[in-house]
């Protein structure tokens, strides 16, 4: 099958209790594609400026990410700055410079329009809708979003939500969108809106995957050192969807269980170092080893 | 084997988004004993006043709880009042009237001194220490505590901690006691203090069980209606220790995994209704059914 990932490829300036990094490579499309690349050859759709490092593009290629949809435009790459406190779930955005991302209106390469799986990472919901319309007959559409769009463009967001099969969100977003404090009730409300599956990411507490007559819970791997939590959610989605693409599964509940665990595995690795550093040394064997560790973690 | 449970048997006035109940039966010893009674015949150690309802004592007996250690004293039963917000993890204590609990200095009945497993539920750590000294050769000692004692009697608390095998605590308490924000590091610091196992309860996010070279994660059952969260943690401990007593296991890691799941099963039931109401209709089959549900919830 094939998987396209639409999201941001960006520079991030990140401060955590473990230190500060200026303008390192980040972005939802980056984390998601790198994670998916452990299972399949994802096709990325994003825009960067001329200042984006060629080494990173080479790294994407080496990881067999299809970069024909990665546009390089005159100008500067999207730059985001954030700070985390002692609690990795608490993040403050310091600055957002959209730069070339401001006018991002991608036209999908012809091949990409045949994609089986489409992931619309966190971007403006109107843009998510435009891009989705360009894909001919996707078998599976997934989306992510953020509190900004829930607050500023709820109608656009709900319009996209009706068209997707899987909605990835964190617990705060699900509660905010549905005005429900109980996660199970909140998840069920999302299911009534269209998706057949909602993946509620809970940071250090793992994730809950809800469908009609289906509940699966996956833990976060117990990490002693959360160096930089950035990208954990996108890596979860990348591992999840990359695995489904690899095993050519859309609705198989057993595969969805495994996909959830692979999502948590990838998320657990990325937070061990700043930005995408950890992906540079991560091996297929590491991924399989931790997948096995997850079995030990929850089996009884 | 045999299990003694030392804790409070009390009146609780509880307000949650589901309603308010005045002076219903509660207390750590109550919840813990009722939960344990699904696996073994726990021996309770507590004090109540003359106002404590005889029907509840009959109910304890019917559930085969040994009440020879339940002292009835002239005066009023311990009364605690609390209010929960929309988030079941957020609780405010409104009032604490110690009443007969003020001078609680139990002398264990002779049989009780032979107990194999001792659970020191949340009470003054000096009292925990006094009681523990009365038990001759316990095979397994477990304790719980609360933020009050961490703040007011840290030295007494640490002295008891050195003598116990299992420390039950919620995530906030573990972080407070160790001054660590990362739960795994915090848990490991507790292990250095003496216990061989620390059970970190995380409310709706389940629990983490940590030992040397051992990590087990158990989810909370996904409940749509959390009517009254009171007693969830004590019910967890009761299910956990009751099961270990039943299977005569102290160190067996597979049994500890199962004990953790039974703990979560009992906790998930008790919060479905106010106070101890749910225990009145709960059957052995209900417990086994939900234990099976937990397998479906996490297996992959």
Q: Please give the tally of structural domains in chain B.
A: 1
Residues B260 and B209 sit within 8 Å (Cβ to Cβ): yes
Check B222 against A208: CB less than 8 A apart: yes
CA–CA distance, B158 with B180 (Å, rounded to integer): 16
Q: Looking at B153-283, list the stretches that DSSP marks H as alpha helix, in order from N- to C-terminal side.
A: 154-161, 171-178, 183-192, 232-247, 253-270, 277-281
For A230-283, write each residue's pLDDT tens digit: 999 999 999 999 999 999 998 899 999 999 999 999 999 999 999 999 999 999
Residue percentage of chain A with pLDDT more than 90 = 95
Of B202, B210, B222, the CB nearest to A215: B222
Residue A226 structural domain: 3-298
For every residue of A159-203, DSSP letters joined together read HHHTT-SEEEEEHHHHHHHHT-SSHHHHHHHHHHTS-SEEEEE-G
CA–CA distance, B153 with A138 (Å, rounded to integer): 62
Q: Which of residues 106-145 of A touch B (CB under 8 A)?
A: none
Whether residue A224 lies within 8 A of chain B, CB to CB, comes out as: yes
Considering only CB atoms, which chain B residues are within 8 Å of A299? 257, 299
Predicted confidence at residue B90, as pLDDT, reads: 83
- For the CA atoms of chain A, what is the radius of gyration? 18
CA–CA distance, A285 with A33 (Å, rounded to integer): 18
Q: How many CB atoms lie within 10 A of CB B104?
A: 19
Residues B136 and B156 sit within 8 Å (Cβ to Cβ): no
Predicted confidence at residue A88, as pLDDT, reads: 82
Whether residue A219 lies within 8 A of chain B, CB to CB, comes out as: yes
Considering only CB atoms, which chain B residues are within 8 Å of A225? 182
Provide the greatest CA pair distance for chain A: 56
Question: Residue with structure tokens 């360009």?
Answer: A134
Domain of A43, CATH number, reads 3.40.1190.20
Model ipTM? Answer: 0.91
Check B222 against A226: CB less than 8 A apart: no
Predicted confidence at residue B57, as pLDDT, reads: 98
Predicted confidence at residue B230, as pLDDT, reads: 97
Point out the residues of chain A with pLDDT beneath 50.
none
For every residue of B281-295, DSSP letters joined together read H--HHHHHHHHHHHH
CA–CA distance, B125 with B146 (Å, rounded to integer): 10
For residue A55, the 8-state DSSP code is H
Question: Residue with structure tokens 């059952």?
Answer: B221
Interface test with A, best of B16, B174, B185, B205 (most A CBs within 10 A): B205
Going by C-alpha positions, the residue among B220, B225, B161, B222 that lies closest to residue B194 is: B161
Question: Residue with structure tokens 């930005």?
Answer: A275
Check B216 against A86: CB less than 8 A apart: no
CA–CA distance, B10 with B70 (Å, rounded to integer): 12
Predicted confidence at residue B23, as pLDDT, reads: 98
Point out the residues of chain B with pLDDT beneath 50.
none
Provide the greatest CA pair distance for chain B: 56
């Amino acid at each position: 099958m094939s998987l396209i990932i639409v999201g941001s490829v960006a520079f991030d300036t990140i401060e955590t209790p473990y230190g500060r990094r200026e303008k390192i490579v980040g972005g939802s499309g980056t984390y998601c594609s790198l994670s998916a690349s452990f299972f399949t050859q994802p096709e990325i759709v994003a825009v960067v400026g001329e200042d984006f490092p060629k080494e990173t593009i080479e790294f994407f290629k080496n990881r067999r990410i299809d970069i024909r949809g990665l546009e390089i435009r005159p100008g500067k790459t999207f730059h985001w700055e954030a700070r985390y406190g002692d609690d990795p779930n608490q993040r403050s955005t310091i600055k957002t410079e959209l730069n070339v991302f401001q006018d991002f209106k991608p036209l999908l390469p012809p091949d990409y329009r045949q994609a089986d799986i489409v992931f619309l990472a966190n971007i403006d919901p109107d843009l998510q809708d435009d891009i989705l319309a360009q894909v001919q007959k996707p078998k599976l559409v997934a989306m992510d979003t953020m509190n900004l769009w829930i607050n500023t463009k709820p109608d656009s967001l709900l319009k996209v939500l009706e068209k997707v099969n899987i909605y990835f969100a964190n617990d705060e977003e699900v509660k905010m969108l549905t005005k429900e404090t109980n996660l199970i009730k909140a998840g069920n409300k999302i299911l009534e809106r269209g998706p057949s599956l909602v993946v509620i990411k809970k940071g250090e507490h793992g994730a809950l995957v809800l469908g009609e007559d289906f509940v699966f819970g996956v833990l976060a791997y117990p990490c002693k050192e959360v160096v930089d939590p950035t990208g954990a959610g996108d890596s979860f989605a990348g591992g999840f969807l990359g695995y489904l693409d690899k095993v050519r599964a859309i609705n198989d509940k057993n595969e969805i269980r495994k996909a959830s665990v692979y999502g948590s595995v990838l998320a657990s690795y990325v937070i061990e170092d700043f930005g995408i550093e950890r992906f540079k040394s991560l091996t297929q064997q590491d991924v399989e080893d931790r997948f096995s560790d997850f079995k030990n973690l929850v089996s009884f």
